[in-house]
Structure 1
Amino acid sequence: MKADSISELKKTLKQLDHDDLLAVCLRLAKYKVDNKELLTYLLKKSADEQAYVAEVCDEISRELPSERTLHKKTMRKIVRLMDKWIRYSGNKETEIEVRIHFCQLFVDRRIEFGRCRVKANMYATQLKKIDKAIETVHPDLQFDFRHQMDGIQEYLK
């Protein structure tokens, strides 16, 4: 079965009455945890973006081990979760704050890369994503975010 385009789905959803639309949303949320999480964000957490950022940063802090070593599978899991939570928001400022927090945890906890290039490359990728996202925000915010980036860029070297 081929999925319809977004514009076709939008036209169809506009034609539905309130009860049918509610039934479609609930059925969509029932089948996948990601859909349920996205719906939770849209209905409850999108109104207070700063609280959402704080919640995501706390979750990342809990997931990242406090010892100096980190297994690459754990790092991949955290990055995958972080990307999912950022995608729910769709806000560049949220993305920057979450990614900077993730990188700052590496510096604060002095997590070592050792000889594992995979972890170093994943860290470098996060820095690139931060730089790319910073380019899209207001110049005043760019200055603030670049100031936050001072300590974490040198950590890779």
Structure 2
Amino acid sequence: MKAATVSEIKRELKTKTTEELSELCLRLSKFKKENKELLTYLLYEAADEESYIQSVKTEMDDQFEEINTTSYYFIKKSVRKILRTVKKYIRYSPHKTTEVELLIYFCSSLKEMSPSISRNVTLQNLYDRQLTMIRKKVSTLEADLQYDYGVLLDNMEGISG
């Protein structure tokens, strides 16, 4: 089966009634966990972006606390899993500032982790790549936000060096 384009789907959705749209959303939510999470974000959390960011940060904190720190192998696996989860949550939000804030929080949590990531090249490279990505995202924001986040990033890069 070949999937329809977004414009074709949009055109078809316009022909549906409210009840039919509701039924389609419910069916969609049954198939994949991400669909259900996206619907949850859109219905309950999109109106209050600050609390959404805070809930993701709290989940991130919990995941960082659960990391098995006996070897860098386990640390790397766990950190990559946390980053995948954060990126998934970032995709739900249309706000660029949400992405920047969550990635900055991820990097600061990673930097504060014990044992230090500076002793492991892979983790240090992951940290540096995220800072580079954040810089690119910040450059697309409004000037006042660019300055605020730029100062924060300068401080973080100063710590990493």
- What is the TM-score normalised by the length of structure 1? 0.91
After superposition, the Cα gap between the structure-2 partners of 1:125 and 1:90, relative to the gap in structure 1 and judged at 3 Å, is farther
8 A contact 1:67–1:109 mirrored in 2: no
Answer yes or no: is 1:86 the counterpart of 2:90.
yes
Total equivalences in the alignment: 157
Q: Provide the alpha-carbon RMSD of the alignment.
A: 1.9
Shift of 1:150: 2.9
Separation in 1, partners of 2:119, 2:107: 19
Aligned residue type for 1:113: I
Which 4+ runs in 1 deviate beyond 2 A? 65-70, 106-111, 113-118, 154-157
Runs of 5+ consecutive residues of structure 1 not aligned to the other structure = none
Separation in 2, partners of 1:68, 1:149: 28
Aligned residue type for 1:83: K
Comparing 108-117 with 98-107, greater Cα deviation is found at: 108-117
Comparing 71-80 with 112-121, greater Cα deviation is found at: 112-121
1:95 is aligned to: 99
Partner secondary structure for residue 137 of structure 1: coil
2:7 is aligned to: 7
Shift of 1:131: 0.3
Aligned residue type for 1:156: S
2:153 is aligned to: 149
2:120 is aligned to: 116
Aligned residue type for 1:19: E
After superposition, the Cα gap between the structure-2 partners of 1:68 and 1:23, relative to the gap in structure 1 and judged at 3 Å, is closer
After superposition, the Cα gap between the structure-2 partners of 1:21 and 1:93, relative to the gap in structure 1 and judged at 3 Å, is same
Separation in 1, partners of 2:122, 2:36: 32
Separation in 2, partners of 1:111, 1:130: 24
Aligned residue type for 1:130: I
8 A contact 2:100–2:138 mirrored in 1: yes
Runs of 5+ consecutive residues of structure 2 not aligned to the other structure = none
Larger relative contact order, structure 1 or 2 (CA cutoff 8 Å, min sep 6):
1
Comparing 118-127 with 13-22, greater Cα deviation is found at: 118-127
Answer yes or no: is 1:27 the counterpart of 2:27.
yes
Comparing 114-123 with 11-20, greater Cα deviation is found at: 114-123
